[in-house]
Structure 1
Amino acid sequence: MKSIENQLLVNHLEDRVELHLKESISLFQNLHESVLLKPSINGGWSIAQCLEHLNTYSRYYLPVIKKALINQPQQEGSLVFKSSYLGAYFTQLMEPKENMKKMKAAKNHSPVTNLDAYAVVAEFIEHQEELLNLLKQSVAIDMNAIRIPISITKWIRLKLGDVFQFLIAHNQRHIVQAKRNLYISYNVPVED
């Protein structure tokens, strides 16, 4: 598995999260509720459902990460993170790509249809801001030593750096889906 300095990894991940924030604010925050709640014409999730799905992951992972970071010693010098095989696999599985395979969401991460669309978007934006804060706190922490149980089974624990990469790739995957929904349904030009 590839090794990378913590600072470089965090910089890369912060750039992605900042883009997610920017897109959420510019594309989704001011849309009418009916647009946010309209199911995709191909039978997929609405924009609000895509973001709510991501919110369910953030509701689990962000408090667990925050708790894991409490009282962690700040390290001197340059730290290096090395992805585990399983962490790299999960992240690669989530990365958006051409002709992405549709996956079934875990039951506790399946969004309902009757959502408060504005609250969903606002919560997603708050989560991205909190994620940025947690990334900043992690630069001088040994992200290899902290293990986080995954949301679908507590038996599998991934390194903190892998959890960050998975969570952000997963966010990207569903933001692409939400943007595609916006484009297909309303012919609003968006970039992937």
Structure 2
Amino acid sequence: MKKVNKNELLQRLDDQVERHIADAVALFQNQSDEFLNRPSATGGWSIAQCLDHLNSYGHYYLPKMRDMMRAAAHSGKPDFTSTRIGAYFTKMMDPETGKRKFKAFKGHIPHSTLDSAEVVAEFVRQQEELLLLLREGTRKDLDAIRIPISILPIIRMKIGDVFQFIVAHNERHMQQAKRNLVPQSIY
């Protein structure tokens, strides 16, 4: 697999997470429950459901990543090498390269009616925690830290791959949520 500069990778991911936070605050915060829980006109998830789905992954990954990062020694290693499986999962989730739709896994399927203010606040909190982890990653060896994946915990991915997967997955569902902002044509 291809080596990349660790700090450039983390900065790119950091920039995306900053955009997700800014969009969540500008577009979703302080909106009504009715608005955020309104199902998509195409039959998909509401804005609140999209964010709640992402929160469910954050509940799994963030504590594991935080604990593993704390336990890892500092490292001046300047690069990161993605694994085949990590690159595959990231490419699959990235809205630019992964066009296929997927069914959500059990435990990650959101309810149809949610406390939308709580969901948005939790999403922003999780994204802020993700930013801290990305920034801490500049001082760690992203190849050495392994995180069990949520769908099959016996498989452990490098934390650099997990970072990329999570941010791509977040981007995929942020785009889905933002599509619900556009009024649907009645034609």
Identity among equivalent pairs (%): 49
Counterpart of 2:163? 164
How far the C-alpha of 1:99 sits from its partner, in A, is 8.7
Q: Which residue pairs with 2:137 in the alignment?
A: 138
- Residues 87-123 of structure 1, C-alpha deviations (whole Å, 9 max, x = no match): 0000000001389322100011000112101100000
* Equivalent residue letter for 2:175: V
Q: Which runs of 5+ in 2 are unaligned?
A: none
Check whether the contact 1:6–1:140 (CA below 8 A) recurs between aligned residues.
no
Q: What code does the residue aligned with 2:31 have?
A: L
TM-score (norm 1): 0.92
Q: Tell me the alpha carbon deviations over residues 157-180 of structure 1, each in whole angstroms, 9 at most, x when there is no partner.
A: 110000000000000000000001
Report how far residue 156 of structure 1 moved.
1.1
**CA shift at 1:30, angstroms?**
2.1
Does residue 37 of structure 2 align to residue 37 of structure 1?
yes
Alpha-carbon displacement from aligned partner over 1:131-164 (angstroms, at most 9, x marks no partner): 0001111111111011100001111111000000
Query: Does the CA contact (< 8 Å) of 1:21 and 1:128 recur in 2?
Result: yes
Q: CA deviation at 1:71?
A: 2.9
Q: Is the 8 A contact 2:36 2:48 kept in 1?
A: yes
Q: Is the 8 A contact 1:40 1:185 kept in 2?
A: no
Does 1:129 find its partner at 2:136?
no
Are residue 28 (structure 1) and residue 58 (structure 2) matched?
no
The amino acid across from 2:18 in the alignment is E
Q: Residues 83 and 65 from structure 1, CA distance in 2 versus in 1: closer, same or farther, beyond 3 angstroms? A: same
* Cα RMSD (Å): 1.5
Partner of 2:83: 84
Please give the TM-score of this superposition, normalised by the length of structure 2.
0.95
1-side partners of 2:70 and 2:184: how far apart?
Answer: 44
Aligned to 2:4: 4
Q: Is the 8 A contact 2:3 2:79 kept in 1?
A: yes
Q: Are the aligned partners of 2:72 and 2:145 in contact in 1 as well (CA < 8 Å)?
A: no
Give the Cα separation in 1 of the matches to 2:134 and 2:96. Answer: 25
CA 99–171 in structure 1, closer or farther in 2 if over 3 Å, else same: closer
2-structure distance, mates of 1:83, 1:99: 18
